[in-house]
Amino acid sequence: MATMTREDRLPAVERFRVAVPEETLRDLGDRIEKTRWPDEIPGAGWEYGTNLGFLRELLAYWRDDFDWRAREREINRFPHFLAEVDGLGIHFVHARSKEAGALPILLTHGWPSTFLEMSRLVPLLTDPVAHGAGPRDAFHVVVPSLPGYGFSEIPRRGGLTKTRIAAIEARLMSEVLGYPRFAARGGDIGAGVTSWLAFDYPERIVGIHVSDVLRPGIGPASPPLSEAERRFLEEETAWMRAEGAYDHVQATKPQTLAFGLHDSPAGLASWIVEKLRSWSDCGGDVLRRFSRDDILTILTIYWATGTIHSANRLYFDRDREPRELAPGQRVEVPCAVALFPGDIDHPPREWGERALNVQRWTEMPRGGHFAAWEEPELLAQDLREFFRPLRGKRADPK
């Protein structure tokens, strides 16, 4: 007689399998074939943005040689589920460890990433013994797709802020999956969601691990900025001036951008590939960190689900309903910060301590914005070490 899984006993959760229709893949190939390519300044490389020669070769491979079905089979080796939370269908991977006393951990991705970023990290956390660690370092891992990303439902109304996503994730973990207390980790948008999750639901959070620091509240009574903090803010301003066009257009006119990215594989690929190259620790060669198959798996997820616009729109919602810490407020649950040299922001520790109860601060030797994909072993080790003393401070679900 077949046994029921834990998810089978939860009526709000259903199993899910990734299966892109063949018609969608044929249409994708046809659209690539009909791409109208722009010109390029000879010898410009990546100076003006995505390089024409690189993109032409990538799309030819996408059309002729990329095996989505093989990647689909790899993706489906993970246990996928769907649950309705706050009126939205949320896709997530829920990989439980075989080790007794495993700590539940929620891993939240950012933009322009997907749940796939965590796939290299999942086995390191669920099966630590097979990867050189001890059984007491095991985690039950939950990896949701952000609402409007990938296989999660596209919201049909605005207001999808990081605060609302944090509330959705809190309900997913505690009410749907039955984890009353859990750990959480995120980078980029995922770091903001994770930080507000800990701020709003501290009773549910054992601790958080982030790669981006929530902006602290600064007021007349706040301690003066250190020299390192002033330098960081200057660097941040300079970076936004040179690299922040994507943020500004997604936060102001995402619908205008959507017509090109949603309709054209070349447009979608150009928009995302340039960020994979710029934000990873690749030394200007994106293929050092992402193979062509890796890149095209990410692109196919966005293309097949039609979610690039809903993903971009989160920036608009962020700026329509901004939320910041007030001076003197901070996240009080135990916090760890891991900074990767190829990432966007590199704040000093004193900046992080204004917003977070920092108990661990790690300057990684390598890696970038997509840390779980680029350096899963480094990240897994940092997670194990940070959460090891916190494991006794929660109760396992029945």
Active-site residue 369, yes or no?
yes
Q: DSSP strand E in 86-138: where?
A: 88-95, 103-108
Catalytic residue (one of 109, 179, 188, 212): 188
Calpha distance 168→58 (Å, rounded): 36
CB atoms under 10 Å from CB of 378, counted, come to: 18
Nearest CA to 123 among 105, 141, 146?
Answer: 141
Active site residue 315: yes
Which residues, other chains included, contact 231 with Cβ-Cβ below 8 Å and sequence gap of 6+? Answer: none
- What are the phi and psi torsion angles at 145 (to 5°)? -85, 130
Of the residues 179, 201, 302, 315, which is catalytic? Answer: 315
Integer CA distances (angstroms), 313 to 41, 86, 92, 250, 316, in order = 31, 19, 21, 6, 5
Cβ(163)–Cβ(84) below 8 Å: no
Name which of 240, 244, 213 is nearest 229 in CA terms: 213
Identify whether 112 is preceded by a cis peptide bond (ω within 30 of 0).
yes
CB of 273 within 8 A of CB of 300? no
Known catalytic membership, residue 149 = no
What's the one-letter identity of residue 22?
Answer: E
Is residue 186 within 8 Å of residue 113, measured between CB atoms?
no
How many residues comprise the chain? Answer: 398
Asked if 17 contacts 231 with a C-beta cutoff of 8 angstroms, the reply is no
The residue annotated as part of the active site, out of 309, 343, 369, 382, is 369
**Max Cα separation, the chain?**
68
Q: Name the residue among 11, 32, 17, 25 with its Cα closest to residue 268.
A: 32
Tell me which residue has tokens 């193979």: 291
Distance from the Cα of residue 41 to its chain's centroid: 34
CA nearest 94: which of 178, 191, 164? Answer: 178
Active site residues: 188, 315, 369
